Chains A and B, each alone.
Chain A
Amino acid sequence: MHEWALAEAVVAAASKVAEEQGLTRVSEVMIRVGELQQIEPEVFEFALSQLKSGRLEHAAFVTRSAKARLRCRACGRRWSFSREKLDADAAEAIHFVPEVAHSYIRCPRCGSPDFEFVEGRGVWLESVTGAR
């Protein structure tokens, strides 16, 4: 239920955005979920449904997944994250703290641990829409 903590963060952030924008009734919250974090969608969406209240009570939370793409800073190689290539412990560790991917993953071309997450790292709030 680590997803619960992230869902709390999304609800808190969306509430803040709604307040800043003067929205009294939020209709839709768009969320981007990066593949690297391997969020369980059902758990995440259940948590969101349980946590929404106030001006978010009637909001639809729409999650879009983003492929995790990595780029080696040493040789420039770009590649996609593949959970299947990791053992279960490594995959779970990356689920909790995506940055520890640097401990488990190497550039497939040069073997460097010095890579960046071009996209698809974690959870982002894309937009909050509703009525004033």
Chain B
Amino acid sequence: MTDPRVSVIADRLKEVRRVVAVSSGKGGVGKSLVASTLALTLAKKGCVAGLFDLDFTSPSTHMILGAAGQRPTEEKGVVPPVVHGLRYMSVVYYSGDLAAPLRGVDVSNALIELLCITRWGKLDWLVLDMPPGIGDATLDLLRLVPSLEFLIVTTPSLLAFETVRKLAGMLRQLGRPVVGVVENMKMRPSSWVQDQVRMLGLKYLGEIPYDPDVEESVGDVDKLMRTVFARKVGELALRF
């Protein structure tokens, strides 16, 4: 038997100019905030942008955006609602406030289902908030979205960067593009991450200082976009 859903995924994304997966080796490095703020920044600059939360078991971008009230509409599939100027999709529209305890095969199936039925339309950018690590979502996207580009987020932590090294190595072997590496939550001056990124042959997009105001702005997009964090994300968005 054949799974028919994969046959239309390329068609669903054919009008999306660039698909960028905001990824990391480890959790807790700020991917969701970077992905959300990046998508909001691109939209503010006049681009047509979408944000797709692919962290199905631990989605959080809906909280960052304060996305409540809107829902996808049905039109020969599902059309993402527009949230703060972004076409936005998350599994929380279906799982609500409940836990989504999914094994890998379920993550894979949910991803394929949503890629099959979601009509993004014409986009300049589709930003994907990825789950941490090199798991089912990453492997499926590598298989199903040939144009996929990666933006890697790390912290100055040796532990976080070690996993970046592995992710970057795999992407290099596969010949998949990495637009660059962002060093998030920087607390003291050091060029260590920058040096390491360059040794990997990747572009160091910049650093984002640890910004305590970000936590206070969760759910308030106007406040978020006034933070140092958002200003830094805006600067690095100009570099790729």
Contacts and interface: CB of A to CB of B under 8 A. Distances in A.
A125 B4 contact: yes
B106 to A, nearest CB: 4
A60 interface: no
A1 B105 CA distance: 26
A5 interface: yes
Interface centre among A5, A116, A125 (most CB of B within 10 A): A5
A100 interface: yes
B100 interface: yes
Interface string A96-132: 1111101110000000011010000111111000000
Nearest to A124: B1
Contact of B4 (A1, A10, A104, A114): A10
Contacts of B91: 97, 100
A120 to B, nearest CB: 13
Interface stretch (B110-118, B183-191, B195-203, B228-236): B110-118
Contact of A102 (B5, B8, B77, B106): B106
A16 interface: yes
Contacts, number: 106
Contacts of A96: 78, 94, 113, 117
B101 interface: yes
A8 interface: yes
B102 interface: yes
B99 A6 contact: no
Interface in B166-185: none
Contacts of B116: 5-6, 9
Contacts of B46: none
Interface residues of B, number: 35
B97 to A, nearest CB: 9
A32 B1 CA distance: 9
A112 B108 CA distance: 21
Contacts of B99: 103, 113
Contacts of B98: 103-104
Contact of A97 (B76, B105, B114): B114
Contact of B2 (A94, A97, A124): A124
Contacts of A104: 98
Nearest to A13: B4
Given A1-B75, A103-B98, A9 B109 contact: no
Contacts of B102: 99, 102
A102 B105 CA distance: 12
A9 B94 contact: no
B95 A2 contact: no
A12 interface: yes
A96 B7 CA distance: 18
Contacts of A125: 1-4
A93 interface: yes
9 contacts: A1-B77, A5-B78, A8-B76, A96-B117, A99-B100, A100-B100, A102-B101, A103-B98, A116-B103
Interface of A: 1-2, 4-6, 8-10, 12-14, 16-17, 32, 89, 93-94, 96-100, 102-104, 113-114, 116, 121-126
